[in-house]
């Protein structure tokens, strides 16, 4: 009986922790969604302007460094940005994203890792992969400023030729119960993919010379590309953060439910043991009285 009581006490304390973590994750999830909704109009306007330039200006991508595939370059280096969690206890969230990142790493010749999140840095630090030393960012509470800093780092390395490709690996949130790890290519840009992303899917219309951009469409487009990449990275951070909170909320809810079931079974076992002890005591008293 004493062992069962200690077990019940331990599970009850753990259950209180899982309930608290579920409530905290729910609050953070709501806050992250609000952040995304507040900044989304700005990035949608950037995408709309890019669509206008693509539709009104011919050949804007020619000679642009961001569209350079560098196919003939030897010893190509591929940058892989991996967004993992800062904390565990989120079910299979971190395992799934690390599994996808490992698959991506195995497919490239010279990977250079940009890891955001303590779980990922600890994991790849033990595997001794080449990691960008100055890239040390959390995934908690994503901000546009942080996304801008990361964008500048990636673009500088790409322009200097230190990176020939850049991929972003993160977890997308389809629904509260469906989290999908995905890998997208950030650089070099693909005109077809870019047109699809910004909703420009009806083919290339005739060039409209009535639209003027100062100093030039190419210059405006280059500025917008930086803002576009910043929006993609920020959106990925928010998606990853919300996915982590959703996964943790689900895991803690399941843990709380399992704790309830364990407590019910232990309570039943405790009552049986208590009843058996009482019955034994009564039997001993009756036996002793009969002997006297």
**pTM for the full predicted model:** 0.76
Residue-wise pLDDT for 201-259, tens only, equals 444 444 444 567 677 767 777 777 788 888 888 888 888 888 888 888 888 888 888 88
Which pLDDT does position 58 carry in this prediction? 61
Residue-wise pLDDT for 187-205, tens only, equals 887 766 666 655 554 444 4
Secondary structure of the chain in HEC code, one letter for each residue: CHHHHHHHHHHHHHHHHHHHHHHHHHHHHHHHHHHHHHHHHHHHHHHHHHHHHHHHCCCCCCCCHHHCCCCCCCCCEEEEEEECCCCCCCCCHHHHHHHHHHHHHHCCCEEEEEEECHHHHHHHHHHCCCECCCCCECCCCCCHHHHHHHHHHHHHHHHCCCCCEEEEEEEEECCCCCEEEEEEEEECCCHHHHHHHCCCCCCCCCCCCCCCCCCCHHHHHHHHHHHHHHHHHHHHHHHHHHHHHHHHHHHHHHHHHHHHHHHHHHHHHHHHHHHHHHHHHHHHHHHHHHHC
Q: How would CATH label the architecture of 28-248? A: 3-Layer(aba) Sandwich (3.40)
- Mean pLDDT score across all residues of the chain: 80
- Chain region(s) in the chain for CATH 1.10.287.80: 2-21+250-291
- Chain region(s) in the chain for CATH 3.40.1380.10: 28-248
Among the CATH numbers 2.60.120.590, 3.40.50.80, 1.10.357.10, 1.10.287.80, which is that of 2-21+250-291? 1.10.287.80
């Amino acid at each position: 009986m004493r062992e069962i009581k200690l077990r019940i006490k331990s599970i009850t304390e753990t259950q209180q922790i899982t309930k608290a973590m579920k409530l905290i994750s729910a609050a953070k999830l709501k806050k992250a969604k609000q952040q995304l909704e507040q900044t989304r109009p700005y990035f949608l306007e950037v995408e709309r302007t890019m669509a206008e330039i693509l539709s009104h200006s011919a050949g804007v991508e020619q000679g642009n460094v961001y569209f350079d595939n560098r196919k003939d370059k030897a010893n190509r280096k591929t940058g892989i940005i991996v967004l993992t969690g800062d904390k565990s206890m989120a079910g299979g969230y971190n395992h799934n994203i690390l599994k996808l990142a490992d698959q991506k790493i195995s497919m490239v010749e010279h990977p250079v890792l940009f890891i955001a999140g303590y779980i990922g840095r600890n994991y790849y630090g033990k595997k001794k992969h080449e990691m960008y030393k100055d890239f040390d960012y959390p995934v908690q509470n994503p901000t546009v400023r942080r996304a801008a800093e990361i964008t500048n780092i990636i673009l500088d390395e790409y322009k200097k030729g230190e990176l020939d490709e850049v991929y972003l690996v993160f977890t997308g949130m389809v629904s509260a119960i469906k989290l999908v790890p995905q890998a997208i290519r950030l650089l070099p840009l693909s005109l077809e993919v870019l047109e699809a992303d910004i909703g420009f899917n009806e083919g290339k219309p005739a060039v409209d010379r009535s639209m003027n951009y100062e100093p030039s469409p190419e210059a405006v487009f280059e500025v917008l590309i930086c803002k576009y990449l910043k929006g993609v990275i920020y959106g990925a951070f928010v998606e990853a953060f919300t996915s982590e909170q959703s996964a943790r909320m689900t895991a803690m809810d399941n843990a709380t439910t399992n704790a309830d079931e364990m407590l019910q079974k232990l309570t039943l076992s405790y009552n049986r043991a208590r009843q058996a002890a009482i019955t034994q005591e009564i039997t001993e008293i009756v036996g002793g009285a009969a002997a006297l």
